[in-house]
Chain A
Amino acid sequence: MDLRAGDSWGMLACLCTVLWHLPAVPALNRTGDPGPGPSIQKTYDLTRYLEHQLRSLAGTYLNYLGPPFNEPDFNPPRLSAEALPSATVNLDVWRSLNDRLRLAQNYQAYSHLLCYLRGLDRHAATAELRRSLGHFCTSLQGLLGSIAGVMAALGYPLPPQGAEPAWAPGPSHSDFLQKMDDFWLLKELQTWLWRSAKDFNRLKKKMQPSVPAVTLRLEVPASDL
């Protein structure tokens, strides 16, 4: 990663490194654990919660960026955002992913995205926006921990702490291009959350045997009717 002079980028690099190592602590209490099922469910629920949170956050942030970013038909070509982890995948490839790879891809994607998101937080103007971003980052950190927990429960090693995120939009970026990067980051995040829901649903189905639905039945004695 090309470190530029100035504290802010150094801090970003430091933060990203710290983040990279942080979720190594297993999040599960292993004593008498009922298997990875409940934690997969929890991870699934987290993706749904985050997706809901992102919807309002993205709406606010895109309005802050202003037109054309907040226009519904805005359909720009992807330029510098190739380094962003892409959720896009061939259907057959996605179907045939083994559990370890499926989890690893999710984990790596969110690690990168969280790092970039924290960079977004840095130059966000309004206090309200910074607060929303901060809240979202915390939730996303929770999701990372949850995925790490599932991987640990299944005995999979966490992805290697290899290449650090290479995407560092420097100060030489124009204001417009910076906004474009922000736009794509939010877009990719949204798509990953949709994909994760499908990923974790698939894992859930594989791990748990079909549980009969619990229905609350009122057994009123016949004489009462």
Chain B
Amino acid sequence: MMATPVLWACFVVLAAGVVAYAQRHSQQDTHVLYERLGSDVTLPCGTAAWDTAVTWRVNGTDLEAAHLNGSQLVLEGLDLSHSGHYACYQGSSWHLRYQALLHVGMPPREPVLTCRSNNYPKGFYCSWHLPAPTFIPNTFNVTVLHGSKLLGCEKDPAPKNRCHIRYTQLFSTVKYKVTLTVTNALGHNSTAIIFDEFTIVKPDPPENVVARPVPSSPRRLEVTWQTPSSWPDPESFPLKFFLRYRPLILDQWQHVELSDGTTHTITDAYAGKEYIIQVAAKDNEIGTWSDWSVAAHATPWTEEPRYLTTEAQAPETTTTTTTSFVPPPTTKICDPGEVGDGVGSSTGLLLTVTVTVTVTLTTIAATGLFI
């Protein structure tokens, strides 16, 4: 019919218009540029001739003509403040000829990679970080080789610089090799570590460390804790513990290693002094000690003073686990030979000294550091 050629003509015109429009606007697609910190870059104003009169804008703000080389924008000695949106307009009609998003950054330095098994024998995880920021997005790729076998490392959603591997075999003589490659628009770098199954075992610190005074025992503190919840099988893979404690007023720690159980009673605490206590864990045979747990504070039980009317009461010290009353220092006369609150008989003192194994304690007592 008559309409058909007209319809076709319309289509052709429309198509031509779309193509022309697309062509014009393709010059104005936002380019994404990654440039190295400290380098120089020249941005062309699209396809505009060198001698065309143009205006450059950075993040919507006009740029002075001093940076121009003809219609091209020259940026020297890029720093982080140069990152932004650049646009070039031609003529008084403000015809947009070119636009770009500039990201100033660095190629990645060699990453730092560590692997650890805090859930032996289930598996291990590897975590990494860059020693210096790149200021641009990076992608990380981890490969795990067990002998000649390639294993997959499951990436954590968060934190995103960590991945997990499950052990398929236990008691392996073949080492694991973990390679990490970091890539960004400006370059790439990698690092690798090689280790045995046993050497990377390091539990998480013990949890819920609580220290309590023992009623009627001025020199005791009862400490309890729990095996870390990340350790999957304490029955078959038992942990041993290391306990350290000191009064807040001294710098020297005392240590006790415990091969069993999750409780211990300190019997040589200085009466009336607030203590800080921490516990660490380790698999009985393999690997390394965990970090120290969150510290517990406690003060041993002290007897209520009988003469409250004549002495000024010191304000009650509040600790997390005890409500014992700390007597004011002026009421006690401290004898360098004493290690207890009251006057000890010579035999009592002897017994106390001989039972206390640490040399430190006797040294402190002897030098009269006890206040």
Contact = CB atoms under 8 A, between A and B. Distances in A.
Interface of A: 48, 51, 73, 75, 77-78, 86-91, 94-95, 184, 187-188, 190-192, 194-195, 197-198, 201-202, 205, 213, 215-218, 220-225
Contacts of B347: 224
Contact of A225 (B194, B284, B348): B348
24 contacts: A48-B285, A51-B285, A73-B194, A75-B177, A75-B194, A78-B174, A86-B173, A87-B171, A87-B173, A89-B170, A89-B171, A90-B168, A90-B170, A91-B121, A91-B170, A94-B171, A191-B171, A194-B171, A194-B286, A201-B238, A201-B284, A224-B340, A224-B347, A225-B218
Interface in B249-281: 260-261, 265, 267, 271
B285 A191 contact: no
Which 3 A-B residue pairs are closest in the complex by CB-CB distance?
Answer: A224-B348, A87-B171, A195-B171
A220 B353 CA distance: 12
A95 B236 contact: yes
Contacts of B170: 88-91, 94, 195
A216 B268 CA distance: 13
B148 A77 contact: yes
In this complex, the interface size class of chain B, counting residues with CB under 8 Å from chain A, is: 35 or more
A224 B351 CA distance: 10
A187 B223 CA distance: 40
B340 A225 contact: yes
Interface in B132-156: 147-148
B364 to A, nearest CB: 18
B119 to A, nearest CB: 12
Nearest to B265: A215
A87 B121 CA distance: 15
B121 A216 contact: no
A111 B175 CA distance: 25
From A187, A188, A224, name the one whose CB has the most chain B CB atoms within 10 angstroms: A224
A48 B283 CA distance: 13
B285 A216 contact: no
B169 A89 contact: yes
A112 B325 CA distance: 66
Contacts of A225: 218-219, 271, 340-342, 344, 348
Given A75-B177, A78-B147, A213-B261, A220 B169 contact: no
Contacts of A197: 284-285
Interface string B324-363: 0000000000000000111011011101100100000000
A184 B173 contact: yes
From A77, A91, A191, A222, name the one whose CB has the most chain B CB atoms within 10 angstroms: A91
Contacts of A215: 265
Contact of A191 (B173, B345, B349): B173
B317 interface: no
A47 to B, nearest CB: 9
A198 B285 contact: yes
B138 to A, nearest CB: 26
Contact of A218 (B236, B261, B285, B351): B351
Contacts of B349: 224
Nearest to A81: B173
B222 to A, nearest CB: 12
B198 interface: yes
B172 interface: yes
Given A78-B174, A194-B198, A220-B348, 8 more contacts: A73-B194, A75-B177, A77-B148, A86-B173, A91-B169, A194-B285, A198-B236, A218-B267
A213 B341 CA distance: 30
Nearest to A192: B171
Interface string B218-249: 11000000000000000111100000000000
B348 A198 contact: no
Nearest to A219: B351
B167 interface: yes
Contacts of B238: 201
Contacts of B174: 75, 78
Nearest to A220: B348
A75 B192 CA distance: 13
A87 B197 CA distance: 13
A217 B267 contact: yes
A215 B258 CA distance: 11
Given A77-B148, A197-B285, A198-B285, A221 B173 contact: no
B352 A218 contact: yes
Contacts of A48: 285
A87 B170 CA distance: 8
Nearest to B148: A77
Contacts of B198: 194
Contact of A216 (B175, B261, B344, B355): B355
B352 to A, nearest CB: 7
A187 B198 CA distance: 12
Contacts of A188: 173
A88 B173 contact: yes
Nearest to B193: A73
